[in-house]
Structure 1
Amino acid sequence: MQTSSLGTSDLQVTPLTLGTMTFGKEADEATSHALLDAYVAAGGNVIDTADVYSAGLSEEIIGRWLKGSGKRDDVLIATKARFAMAKGGPRGLHPDYLRGAIEDNLRRLDIDTIDLFQPHAFDPNVPVAEWLGLIKEFVDQGKIRHLGVSNFLSYQLQQTLDVAKYEGLPTVVSLQPQYNLLDRHIDYEVMDVCKNHNIPLLPWSPLGGGWLSGKYERDSVPTGATRLGEDPSRGVEAYDKRNTERTFAILDVVKDIAADHGASMAQVSLAWLIQHPQVGSVILGARTTEQLADNLGAAQVELSTEQWERLEDVSRPHTPDYPYGFVDTMGGR
């Protein structure tokens, strides 16, 4: 895999990142280490995790792999903190909490420096300058190289950028949002902020919780050892939420294009993201090395302009009448 600059940072990233939310849960330690080995062997160089993934076990598994493999200098480590590690526990971006959370990130990963630290969500109860000031301390100490953010709304991202600029604090170099052919709601406003400030996306759930691999069917509730088979009401990809005509219209186009390339539907869905001009690297989540191998094949799928635009058109989100549609009808764009 080739590398490219992540926005304005000096980080050189591959188009596919290994997400590790499954580590310690759906994937035991041996499987997790096999996934890491396979990903690096394929040329990948970005590993994304978070403190809340398996209550810290994901980071610990990665830390043991880094120590045992001797690959620390070959990969970039991205992690996150913000949410409670236990039900009812402390959380947020206040420096009194965040300082310890970041030190815990470093301890579990058994590393000296986090290449990309990302608050897992905005905290409306803490002034931006306060937590950015803490990030500056960690940057000055060499414990954090760059700041990204995850799940920020457009005004939250813009506010963070403004405070960073006018207070001389570390700025945001990437955004990690949910983004895939089934869910493009960040197109409404977040995308424009990213374009204006050269902030690349690191999309999570690029296959929409498995939907875009073609594994789920109309009017047939999932069963078995899949994300929705184990819990059909799970999260934003819940079966009842996505079992719609729009979903299957998108899947039909993905299926057609996959047949043209002799590729899997998952590979085509990922290829659309890889070729998206605002995407820096796509975060893959896998339970098995077989799933990972198929997903990594997306790097070899080159969609034509016509194919990419077909996917762009069929997946374009409905524009709400207000305020977006209203602005259009008034000739404001």
Structure 2
Amino acid sequence: MTSLDEYRLLGRSGLRVSPLSLGAMTFGDAWGWGADKDTAREIFESYLDAGGNMVDTANIYTDGQSEQFLGEFLGARRESMVIATKYSGTRNPTDPNAGGTNRKSLVASVEASLRNLRTDYIDLLYVHAWDGLTSGEEIIAALGDLVRTGKVLYLGISDAPAWQVARMQTIAEFRGWAPLVALQVEYSLIERTTERDLIPMAAELGLGVVPWAPLGGGVLTGKYSAADLDAPDADRPGGSRRDHALVNRTLTERGLSIADVVVGVAQELGVRPSHVALAWTLQNPAVVSPLVGARTPEQLHEDLAALDLELGPEHVERLDAVSAIDLGFPHEFLTRPMVRGVVHGQTITRPRPVVRW
């Protein structure tokens, strides 16, 4: 399909990013399952050697180790890298303003990230998760202020309702503020509900989609079975990757059924299941750069090989069928023959072509 150094534009911005981004949530072992510093450095170097240029982290990943390691690894290569980080995760569980999406949390978090990353600017800053308390006006205004200072270059948002994102984007457009250029959401063969509103919204409003967990928390690699369906002890940052897959509801009977089809397609094509899962995600024209996380350099190289795979129509059809979701109202309603007849009569109109920004 492509290689890591055949770059894509991120949303309507002019920022060029690789077709697979390196997720650095595995950098650090504070949560009990990540890579130690030496291994993380090797993963980072391998990604750069393959032509990759975008690395994604967050202020809270592995209790700050992820940003700290990344800052140490960058060195003189800082200018050639696109570094994405996030705010809203709390830095102090006893301080009500140490987390959330408010302006105070934002400013303090960015300053801490700049220190951790050993840099004076962040290429791409995401709102990590919607807190349900801060108004969209406050968030987009505060983010725009940081862009004007030069401490942040581009803005993104993750894990938020589509209508809130659309409202913030509209406010930014009409007031001449820096727009959102990236949307990070969970998207895989197991989690396709983002196709209802979030991904179409992103395509319409000029946000490049950066999927997280494109391998369904590892379920789509085929490494889990029905014996792994026992409930985890707790919903917490620590614990095993299996626990995370259970808590995030990718490791379910449905998830395993989808993984079975992925494994079958992979066997037919003579590739690994992870290649099939990633290639399926990349065939969505709204998707710019899925995140791939690895705990070893070998896992990273395995994921990067997905760029060489192009799925045929018959394989896409099988994968789509086993993972299909109910789009809900009004989407399902508007596709009914009776409704379409009422709206269009007997006429047929060719839709606009899908445009990738």
TM-score (norm 2): 0.84
Bigger mean CA deviation after superposition, 46-55 or 92-101: 92-101
Indicate the residue corresponding to 1:262 in structure 2: 270
What's 2:18 paired with? 14
Counterpart-to-counterpart distance in 2, 1:193 and 1:277? 13
Aligned residues: 325
Deviations 1:65-119 (A, max 9, x none): 012xx22122110000012123233212221221111111111101122111101
Structure 1 position 234 matched with structure 2 position 276: no
Counterpart code for 1:170: A
1:80 aligned residue (78, 81, 86): 86
Q: In the alignment, is the contact (CA less than 8 A) between 1:78 and 1:114 conserved in 2?
A: yes
TM-score when normalising by structure 1: 0.90
Is residue 193–residue 327 contact of structure 2 (8 Å, CA) maintained in 1?
A: no
Does structure 2 conserve the Cα–Cα contact (< 8 Å) formed by 1:261 and 1:301? no
* Structure 1 residue 191, shift from structure 2 partner: 1.9
Which range moves more in the overlay, 207-216 or 308-317? 308-317
Amino acid corresponding to residue 13 of structure 2 in structure 1: S
SS at match of 2:286: coil
Aligned-partner residue type, residue 158 of structure 1: A
Q: Which residue identity lines up with residue 141 of structure 1 in the other structure?
A: T
User: Which residue is equivalent to 2:107?
Assistant: 99
SS of the counterpart of 2:226?
Answer: coil
Equivalent residue number for residue 174 of structure 1: 182
**Which letter maps to 2:120?**
D
User: Which AA in structure 2 matches 1:119?
Assistant: V
2:256 to 248, 262, 279: 248
State the shift of 1:167 in Å.
2.1
Q: Deviations over 1:242-281 (max 9, x none)?
A: 331x323322321222123221001110111122211010
Q: Is the 8 A contact 2:136 2:164 kept in 1?
A: no
In structure 2, relative to structure 1, the CA distance for the partners of 1:135 and 1:238 (3 Å cut) is: closer
What pairs with 1:279-294 in structure 2 (closer than 5 Å)?
279-294=287-302
Asked whether the 8 Å contact 1:55–1:86 carries over to 2, the reply is: no
Residue correspondence of structure 1 range 1-333 to structure 2 within 5 A: 1=4, 2-25=6-29, 26-67=34-75, 70-89=76-95, 90-221=98-229, 230=240, 232-234=242-244, 237-238=246-247, 242-244=251-253, 246-320=254-328, 324-326=331-333, 328=335, 331=339
Q: Which amino acid in structure 2 is aligned with residue 307 of structure 1?
A: H
Once the two structures are TM-superposed, the CA of residue 220 in structure 1 deviates from its matched residue by: 4.3
Q: Distance in 1 between matches of 2:165 and 2:133?
A: 15
Unaligned runs of 5+ in 2: 231-236, 344-357
Q: Which amino acid aligns with 1:230?
A: S
CA distance in 1 between counterparts of 2:271 and 2:36 reads 29
Q: 2:70·2:117 contact (CA, 8 Å) conserved in 1?
A: yes
Show structure 1 runs of 5+ residues with no match: none
Percent identity (aligned): 34
SS in 2 for 1:77: strand
